[in-house]
Amino acid sequence: MRICKIDKCNNKHFALGWCSKHYQRNYAHGNPYINKKKVHGMYGTLTYNSWDTLIQRCNNLNCPTHKHYGGRGIKVCDRWLDFRNFLTDMGERPIGLEIDRIDNDGDYEPDNCHWVTHKENNRNTRRTVLNMKIAEEVRALHKKGMKPKKISEVLNIKIHSISSILYNNYWK
C-alpha cells in the first residue's frame, strides 16, 4: 500500500503522492503543507488576509494573479508559510496600509517587505518608470530655470510625466 509522501503522514495515498487531506490543501492553497485551521485567532483579520493573498499569488496556480507573482518566480520564504511567523516578523497590518515588496522582483521575505499606503505601493510596480528621486531631480532642474521640454530631453522622460510632476502635484 502506498502512503502519503508528506513526512510523518501515514495516510493512504490518494493522488499526486499525497493523501486526500494534503491533496486538498494543495488544490485549495497551492501548498500541501498549509493548514488554515491552525489556531492563532487572526483568521479574517486584515493581517491574515494580506498573508493569505500573498500565499495565493505565489503558490496557487488557480489564482488569477499567479502569473504576475509565482508565475514570475516570486516566492514566499519558507518561514512565512506559517502565518504565525509572518505575524511575528511583520506585526499586525496597520489600518490603511498594505504589504509591499521593496524590491519588486524579490520574494516575500522579512528583509524585502514592509507596510505602505496604497499610493506608495502603486509607485513600486513594474509599470512605474518614475520614482521619488527622479521627481526631486525634475523639480530641482525646473527650479534652476530649465523648461519642461529640456528636462524631458535631459532625463529621457516623457514630457507628460514631467508636467504631471511639476503641475499636478504627483510625486509629492
State the pLDDT at residue 157.
Answer: 77
Spatial distance between the Cα atoms of 94 and 145, rounded to a whole number of angstroms: 42
Share of the chain above pLDDT 90, in %: 36
Residue identified by cell 502635484 is 169
Residue 87 has pLDDT above 60, yes or no: yes
What residue ranges do the domains of the chain occupy?
Answer: 1-35, 41-123, 132-167
pLDDT value at 55 more than 90: yes
Tell me which of 18 and 99 has the higher pLDDT: 99
Residue 65, phi-psi category: left (phi > 0), alpha (psi -120 to 50), beta (remainder) = alpha
- Stretch 34-46: mean pLDDT, rounded? 73
